[in-house]
Structure 1
Amino acid sequence: MDMSQYRDLFVSESKGHIQVFNELIVRLEDNAADTAAIDELFRHAHSLKGMAATMQYQAVADLAHRMEDLLSRVRSGEFGFTPGLADILLEGSDVLAAMVSTIEAGDDRLPDAAELVNRLAAFDAAAGPTPPQPPVGADTEPVGGDRDPAGAAPEHQFRHTDSFKSVRVKTETLDRLVNITGELITTRYRLADRAQHGEGAQLEEPLKRLSMLLRELRDEVFQARMLPFSFVADRFPRLVRDLSRKQGKEILFQVEGKEIELDRGILEEVSEPLVHILRNAVDHGMEMPGERIAAGKPGPGTIRIAVSRDKDCVNIVVSDDGRGMDPGRLADKAVEKGVLSREQASVLTRHEALMLICAPGFSTAETVSDISGRGVGMDAVRTAIHSLGGGLVIESETGRGSRFLLRLPLSVSIIHALLVECGPLTLAFPVNVVDRTVELGDGEIFGERDQSVFVLDDRQVPLKSLNRLLGQPTTAPDPGELVPTVVVDTGGVVTGLTVDRLLGQREIFVKPLGIPLCRIKGVTGGAITGDGRIVYVMDASALL
């Protein structure tokens, strides 16, 4: 029987088993007496063994079988769940993941696991059962755990069999649906434009009906693409666990809001930035246990990811209670590396000094390790977040820890945007970066240190000409004429951008730009208006 047609299903199901397997092992390291988790681990190993045997992937089946045997011995009470057992099971999980990836690539040459299979078969827990280890710390659960308001660790949410209410849909199909929806939205605005400028009064009712149906279609398509944050977060406990053990640090890791949903495309792009931030938190942010105790802190440090929904955006906050960052030291390091002059460093605000860690090539690490210190991580984080139309805010206090806020849109395909005119160009700013729009009179604009500024909410805000930034012709306003201005917030930095005309908000379908337009700084994509004009979608942070 030809089983190749079932390979994709096997790969998908296997990845699910391995992901939950890793999560449960990390949880068991902190609560070895969790018999429900041990039983679930056994079932995942058993299921993976059976699937692999059916598909005739004997190497996978043999490895899963040996892991199942070990877990069976734990279930029977022969020995307890020890750190040594966790290590060898995680090693087996990694090899299984490598095997599944090889199968997914269509390669029949699976990694050799004979030596590991033998070690699993010969595993000796002669030291006897390991007593259950209580969670480290009084009010926090270690790696991978969450707590309810009452303080008790919740039970693991075990995977249930898919119901008939859900089906598997190829991502290519979802992408095509998004494209069709976007084209329909563009066509809707074209029809509205024609009706507005012609004898189209009879089109008013059909247009309203079309608009309503389009909104429903858009919402349904978006919902089909939405995935919970746990889709990427479930691998983070294992990452933090491995890094902290490698460095001899004790770290409690928490994730809040794993059920919050984001667009699949957003999740795919934000995964690596979060990995960079977590690696830096473990390597740079967290002190050794002895250092923490000497500073009056508990020995285990805490790293927390909190996800929340805010209207059309999602906020992801990564915080730690480590050593924090000193803005003065960051400024001195920037001068030492030639990133800034001494004069520039002397006028930096606290926020600007903290954002220096995102400068290309900037690092405070004295040595380069395999974890961090190359000066590329946070630069890549900022670039990725801005390319999604999001923002990054960094807060830190020396000795108390750091906080990274990633503010992201729910989708990057169809967005609400503010349209403006700048010379012959029509430009769009995603509304999530627009603080407000204002019209400034002559007496409201004044100079400060060779920089135009205006007062907004009792503070001075820098004012720049969008025409000049883009190399477009500028015209001086007539006496008494108000200057249209877009106030943008890029990572906590507020700036006013003067434009020729404000066109209002609109829903637009964003498409990627081809070469050479994709190389223009500050431009992230393009769209088409109802009257056929091309709109360039701006990245305000990169532009400024």
Structure 2
Amino acid sequence: MEMNQYMSIFIDESNDHLQSLNENMLRLEQQPEDISIVQVIFRSAHTLKGMSATMGFEDLAALTHDMENVLDLVRNSKLSMNGHIFDTLFKCLDALEAMVQDIINGGTGKGDVEELVQILKAIVKGDVEGKSSAKAKTAATASTVSAQLLLDQYQLSVISQSLESGHRAYYIEVSVREDCLLKAARAYMVFDVLERNGEVVKAFPSVQEIEQEQFDRGFSVYYITQAEEESLRDQISRVSEIDSVSLTAVDRESLAELTKSHEQANQIKSAKQETAAAEAPVIASSTVTSKESAPVRAAAATAPTSGNASPRTIRVDIERLDSLMNLFSELLIDRVRLEQLASEVRRNDLTETVEHMARVSADLQNIVLKLRMVPVESVFNRFPRMVRDLAKSLDKKVDLIVVGAETELDRTVIDEIGDPLVHLIRNAVDHGIESISERVKLGKSEVGTVHLRAYHSGNHVFIEIEEDGKGINRPKVLETAIKRGVVTAEEAKNLSDDEVNMLIFAAGFSTADKVSDISGRGVGLDVVKSKIASLGGHVAVTSKLGSGTKFSIQLPLTLSIIAAMLIKLGNEKYAFPLSSIVETGSIKRSDIRTLHGNRIIDYRQTIIPVVSLAHLVDSPAYNDEDETETEMLVIRKGDKLAAVLVEEFIGQSEIVLKPLGKYLAGNLGVVSGATILGDGQVALIVDPNALIK
């Protein structure tokens, strides 16, 4: 079978299942007794195993198979979760992610999973605390899969009487080859050998399930016989396509262990039933509470689905969406051109048709843009696990509270925003949140809190990372900034608190007393700032010493089609993104003053710099020095304002961003891209961020 055509589906589905596994493992760590979460985890692991085996990724399938064995014991109340099992399963998830990433990068998806597989097998055999001593292993072997294959009282007495009458009893595990096409037939042949030599006391899965091929690669039985162990192993091994046969003798000592396991299982079961009956009202009320506060995705994962519900979503290749966007961009250019021609021709029927087409294309534009919108959840999903691991390695207690994960952003922004957020959250956990002892001394809760929020406001999305840690130390930041030459001692005296906070984004700046392998507040924050600026956004910091710090990131909703103000300089046209314009107006030359060689004007009880666009772009067609009064745009970047002098306003228009290409990119200073106007002319798009900078 040609597998390449299914590869993209496999990768997408694997990433979804891995994300679900991570999320639900974190939920289970908070509620280890909730079997419903274990059921969800088990289903994800089972599906991932099946997909991996089908695609031929053996290491992925092997690891998920052994994870499944552990989870199966947990969901059947034969094993209780503890720290060692959680840590092992999280390590397994990391290994699975690494193998899937290798497949994405064109690799074979192989990984060194032997050690993890052995730990999982040991957990199944009873080594739930991670003690791998010879004594523990011997005890585990005595009741090899007693947890997985519990015998009832009747079956125990059958084995006991058989041993007393001189028969032998074995626990036998048989696995068929991975490429075996007729598993049920091979299993039937094995059972034929067994029944010719003795009697099967119990099989796992059941004989009926094995006949219907409802088993993975292996099955196991408790068996009574008079045959020798070697003879039995030899006969079973001769069955074709059998991969391995394992026989463990059951003697009086191990039978006593099995009987003890049976009694303990019954006690646990009855105790759980009593507890469930006693706590039934409490559980019901807590379920209501958790449903109200649980994330939508988690609630949906555990909700029962009706058998005949058809899927409401389909996967679409990103390249197809990009092609659709490019085609629509061309359509938008033609629409504007048609509107201009209709206004010149002035025929009612043509005008009506063009107006109708404009309305339809506006709706189409909204749909196309929404198709490209992705919930920030796809980025936020990785952070709960990251914070858990970080807090554990730093010996801190940290709660991550995520709000607004359903907020949508353009895919191009989503692809780029992940790394800056990772860096800011690592900083928050490493250097923002204090150690447990420090927090207790300060009278704070020993559990630190990091809030990750996303929300829409106008044409922007805001993402905030706020922690209740130590806050930014103003004197220390200033001292470091002066020492590093970021500011002079004279300049430092006049800086406001917010301006001091922004110094941590300066290149090479760090206040960390020692550099850790996790982060150092300031190391790399200049990269964070420049990455966000390249997306047309900006970042601000507010902090209160002793109370915490908040990073606020403002990002444009989309980078493909934007509303812009078109302006004219002689015979040239330029576009300014509407989102960065505060207001438009006119100004008299006499109102422009010069201070220390810089031109300024009074603007709403403050002083802002004046910039001539004609000077910046070296326009040969227009010179604003000749005018007594000229048009101006007031633009904003963060909390900074500037007035830009232009010749004439053309009006607002929706424009399609076109990249400048490799030759021009980065060489035009204040110009970030271009657009094609309705009349076929090219207008350059001015980048207000670069202009104010």
TM-score, normalising length: structure 2 = 0.71
Q: Matches of 1:149 and 1:456 in 2, distance apart?
A: 52
Give the aligned partner of residue 342 of structure 1: 489
Give the aligned partner of residue 324 of structure 2: 177
Residue 306 of structure 2 is aligned to residue 157 of structure 1: no
Long gaps (5+) in structure 1: 130-146
AA partner of residue 397 (structure 2): E
Contact 1:303 1:318 in 2 (8 A): yes
Residue 230 of structure 2 is aligned to residue 88 of structure 1: no
3-state SS, counterpart of residue 17 of structure 1? helix
Of the three residues 672, 675, 679, the one matched with 1:524 is 672
Give deviations 1:232-267, integer Å, cap 9, x for gaps.
Answer: 111111111112211112111011011122221221
Q: Matches of 2:444 and 2:496 in 1, distance apart?
A: 29
Moved more, 269-278 or 158-167: 158-167
Q: Matches of 2:600 and 2:36 in 1, distance apart?
A: 62
Q: Matches of 2:619 and 2:652 in 1, distance apart?
A: 23
Give the aligned partner of residue 128 of structure 2: 125
3-state SS, counterpart of residue 26 of structure 1? helix
Give the aligned partner of residue 304 of structure 1: 451
Deviation at 1:118, TM superposition (A): 0.7
Contact 1:325 1:401 in 2 (8 A): yes
Give deviations 1:124-177, integer Å, cap 9, x for gaps.
Answer: 225999xxxxxxxxxxxxxxxxx9899855682244889443222111110011
Give the aligned partner of residue 12 of structure 1: 12
Instruction: Say which structure, 1 or 2, has more relative contact order (CA 8 Å, 6+ apart).
Output: 1
Q: Matches of 1:258 and 1:275 in 2, distance apart?
A: 15
Of the three residues 561, 565, 574, the one matched with 1:418 is 565
Residue 508 of structure 2 is aligned to residue 361 of structure 1: yes
Q: Matches of 2:299 and 2:63 in 1, distance apart?
A: 26
Of the three residues 447, 450, 461, the one matched with 1:314 is 461
Give deviations 1:367-424, integer Å, cap 9, x for gaps.
Answer: 3322223955322222222222222222112221111222222210111112233566
AA partner of residue 77 (structure 1): S
Of the three residues 279, 290, 294, the one matched with 2:437 is 290
Give the aligned partner of residue 402 of structure 2: 255
Moved more, 387-396 or 265-274: 387-396
Deviation at 1:527, TM superposition (A): 0.8
Deviation at 1:314, TM superposition (A): 1.4
3-state SS, counterpart of residue 506 of structure 1? strand
Q: Which structure 2 residues correspond to residues 377-392 of structure 1 after superposition, within 5 A?
A: 377-392=524-539
Q: Matches of 1:491 and 1:179 in 2, distance apart?
A: 31
Deviation at 1:509, TM superposition (A): 0.3
Give the aligned partner of residue 400 of structure 1: 547
* Cα 1:523–1:334 shift into 2, 3 Å: farther
Deviation at 1:96, TM superposition (A): 1.0
Q: Matches of 2:99 and 2:475 in 1, distance apart?
A: 49
Give the aligned partner of residue 690 of structure 2: 542
Contact 2:410 2:558 in 1 (8 A): yes
Q: Matches of 2:574 and 2:314 in 1, distance apart?
A: 40
Residue 32 of structure 2 is aligned to residue 69 of structure 1: no
Q: Matches of 2:554 and 2:490 in 1, distance apart?
A: 32
Deviation at 1:535, TM superposition (A): 2.0
AA partner of residue 299 (structure 2): Q
3-state SS, counterpart of residue 624 of structure 2? coil
* Cα 1:435–1:149 shift into 2, 3 Å: farther
Identity of counterpart residues, as a percentage? 37
Bigger fraction of residues in helix: 2
* Cα 1:76–1:149 shift into 2, 3 Å: closer
Give the aligned partner of residue 380 of structure 2: 233
3-state SS, counterpart of residue 445 of structure 2? coil
Contact 1:361 1:374 in 2 (8 A): no
3-state SS, counterpart of residue 527 of structure 1? strand
Deviation at 1:459, TM superposition (A): 3.0
AA partner of residue 341 (structure 2): R
Give the aligned partner of residue 475 of structure 1: 624
Deviation at 1:477, TM superposition (A): 5.2
Give the aligned partner of residue 269 of structure 1: 416
Deviation at 1:40, TM superposition (A): 0.9
AA partner of residue 527 (structure 2): A
AA partner of residue 542 (structure 1): A
Deviation at 1:443, TM superposition (A): 5.8
Deviation at 1:268, TM superposition (A): 0.9
Contact 2:52 2:61 in 1 (8 A): yes
Residue 354 of structure 2 is aligned to residue 207 of structure 1: yes
* Cα 1:333–1:157 shift into 2, 3 Å: same
Moved more, 363-372 or 165-174: 363-372
Q: Matches of 2:409 and 2:48 in 1, distance apart?
A: 29
Deviation at 1:104, TM superposition (A): 3.2
Give the aligned partner of residue 657 of structure 2: 510
Question: What is the RMSD of the two structures over their aligned residues, measured on CA atoms?
Answer: 2.8
Q: Matches of 1:355 and 1:255 in 2, distance apart?
A: 25
Contact 1:522 1:542 in 2 (8 A): yes
Moved more, 264-273 or 439-448: 439-448
Give the aligned partner of residue 44 of structure 1: 44
* Cα 1:538–1:334 shift into 2, 3 Å: farther
Long gaps (5+) in structure 2: 132-267, 269-287
3-state SS, counterpart of residue 665 of structure 2? helix
AA partner of residue 637 (structure 2): T
* Cα 1:149–1:13 shift into 2, 3 Å: closer
Q: Which consecutive aligned stretches of 4+ in structure 1 deviate over 6 angstroms post-superposition?
A: 147-151
AA partner of residue 467 (structure 2): D
Give the aligned partner of residue 226 of structure 2: none
3-state SS, counterpart of residue 302 of structure 1? strand
Deviation at 1:433, TM superposition (A): 1.7
Moved more, 370-379 or 193-202: 193-202
Equivalences, count: 525
Give the aligned partner of residue 141 of structure 1: none
Of the three residues 518, 524, 533, the one matched with 2:681 is 533
3-state SS, counterpart of residue 537 of structure 1? strand
Q: Matches of 1:347 and 1:429 in 2, distance apart?
A: 33
